[in-house]
Structure 1
Amino acid sequence: MALSDADVQKQIKHMMAFIEQEANEKAEEIDAKAEEEFNIEKGRLVQTQRLKIMEYYEKKEKQIEQQKKIQMSNLMNQARLKVLKARDDMIMDMLNEARQRLANIARDPARYSVLMDGLVLQGLYQLLEPKVAIRCRKQDVALVQVSVLRTARLAGLHVGLQQLHYFSGGIEIYNADGKIKVSNTLESRLDLMAQQMMPEIRVALFGRNQNRKFLD
């Protein structure tokens, strides 16, 4: 039985409606899937950026902490250096005061005479030259001559005396050409004693360093 034009038009409309419905459903499905993929990608990007931001701030925090440690270390070193300088200045002041008092040693003739004997004898033994020159203060010339008579001339040494004024007492001894010197001035003896006793001086003034394992 042939379909009438009305029936054909009806079927065509029905098919078009079906196709349109299928297209709409397919479009909705595509939209839903695209929305889902978009949300997934957005979540992934957000998470990635969040991690990057967290890493950035963690890195910054570590840098700030490291800078704080460096600054604290620098401040502690500066403070330590200031303390060490203050201690060294105190020791230098003490040694300068001791140097200023060296002249008092020569004011006791009996003790100074014994000291000069020892300084002359020690200097001659250190130099071990047959001909020497001894330099001393003008006011010590007679005293040194006596010391030389007790030591050098008895050993057959030739000794010349020169007068100097730039030290507080004691002597300097030179070989014949003046290239070798033994300094036994009071200043040089004080410096030598200070160098040898510096650990004990530091302990006496500032106490023992608890962080130091060995004493030199």
Structure 2
Amino acid sequence: MLDGRMQQEKESVFYQLPVMALTDADVQKQIKHMMGFIEQEANEKVDEIDSKAEEEFNIEKGRLVQTQRVKIMEYYEKKDKQIEQHKKIQMSNLLNQARLKVLKARDDMITDLQNDARQRLAEIAKDPENYSVLLQGMLLQGFFQLLEPKVTVRCRQQDVEMVQEAVNKNIPIYREAVKINIVVQIDTVRFLSSDICGGVEVFNDNGKIKVSNTLENRLELIAQQMMPEIRVKLFGANPNRKFLD
């Protein structure tokens, strides 16, 4: 557009020149006039280039700013996710630690309860009447579990006399029940440890099969059987448990 305008100006100047010869002053004047148009066109070109360069600069600057903005947002979004993940991991660890502490406290309570029950076992043998009845039941159960014609009974040294009485009472009961005779020998060489609160151990003839009916063993069996009920009584029902058997 500028080029066409300049060409028109040049042609206009050319056609305005008189046919007569020009003086030096007229020539200088015409030259200045043409230089003015050239300078104006150059300035307009410069302004156009500057404007275009400014526009391209702003576009590129906007693109770079947007690109960096997206990168920054992605960076902090990633950081937020890492922080959130770290929080979840820490929370999970804290919850697991809390659960472990609760489970340990519960196990400690159960252990204390069992220890207290074991300490009370010693009181059972201090009541001869009830203890003798208990020995009879333990011995008879051992006989029925073995179903052997000859058995050996091991007990505490201080219980030998009471165990012998229980054996004498149980033999007729056993014979009547299974229609088989039984020979019972009380081991008077090896006794149960003095740490045992009471009860008996019944062996077959060769000693390879044993029925342990000590008070401690009976307590352990009862504790295993009643542990779910004990836990419910102490800590309440487990909400995560769907089945009770």
- Which bin holds the TM-score, normalised by the shorter protein? 0.7 to 0.9
Distance 2:38 2:95 in 1: 83
Which amino acid in 2 is paired with 1:160?
Answer: Q
Give the 3 Å change call, closer, same or farther, for CA 9–78 of structure 1 in structure 2: same
Q: Is the 8 A contact 1:124 1:152 kept in 2?
A: no
Give the 3 Å change call, closer, same or farther, for CA 3–99 of structure 1 in structure 2: farther
Does the alignment pair 1:176 with 2:205?
yes
Distance 1:14 1:180 in 2: 133
2:43 to 24, 28, 52: 24
Which amino acid in 1 is paired with 2:221?
Answer: L
Q: How much does 1:152 deviate?
A: 4.7
Larger Rg: 2
Q: Secondary structure at the match of 2:237?
A: coil
Q: How much does 1:196 deviate?
A: 0.8
Distance 1:130 1:9 in 2: 151
Q: Secondary structure at the match of 2:232?
A: helix
Q: Is the 8 A contact 1:136 1:172 kept in 2?
A: yes
1:102-122: per-residue Cα shift (whole Å, max 9, x none)? 111112222212211111111
1:206 to 235, 240, 244: 235
Distance 2:110 2:42 in 1: 100
The aligned counterpart of 2:192 is: 164
Q: Secondary structure at the match of 1:156?
A: coil
Q: Secondary structure at the match of 2:228?
A: helix
1:43-100: per-residue Cα shift (whole Å, max 9, x none)? 1211221122122212212221222222122212212221221121111111111101
Runs of 4+ in 1 over 6 A off after TM superposition: none
The aligned counterpart of 2:144 is: 125
Using the TM superposition, name which of 195-204 and 173-182 deviates more: 173-182
Q: Is the 8 A contact 1:130 1:158 kept in 2?
A: yes
Structure 2: 5+ residue stretches without partners: 1-18
Does the alignment pair 1:64 with 2:88?
no
In angstroms, what is the RMSD of aligned CA positions? 2.3
Give the 3 Å change call, closer, same or farther, for CA 174–20 of structure 1 in structure 2: farther
Using the TM superposition, name which of 191-200 and 166-175 deviates more: 166-175
Distance 1:112 1:50 in 2: 87
Q: How much does 1:9 deviate?
A: 4.7
Using the TM superposition, name which of 95-104 and 65-74 deviates more: 65-74
Q: Secondary structure at the match of 2:125?
A: helix
Distance 1:136 1:212 in 2: 42
Q: How much does 1:13 deviate?
A: 3.9
Q: How much does 1:12 deviate?
A: 4.1
Does the alignment pair 1:192 with 2:211?
no
Q: How much does 1:192 deviate?
A: 0.8
Identity of aligned residues (%): 70
Q: Secondary structure at the match of 1:213?
A: coil
Structure 1: 5+ residue stretches without partners: none
TM-score normalised per structure 1: 0.87
Give the 3 Å change call, closer, same or farther, for CA 129–21 of structure 1 in structure 2: farther
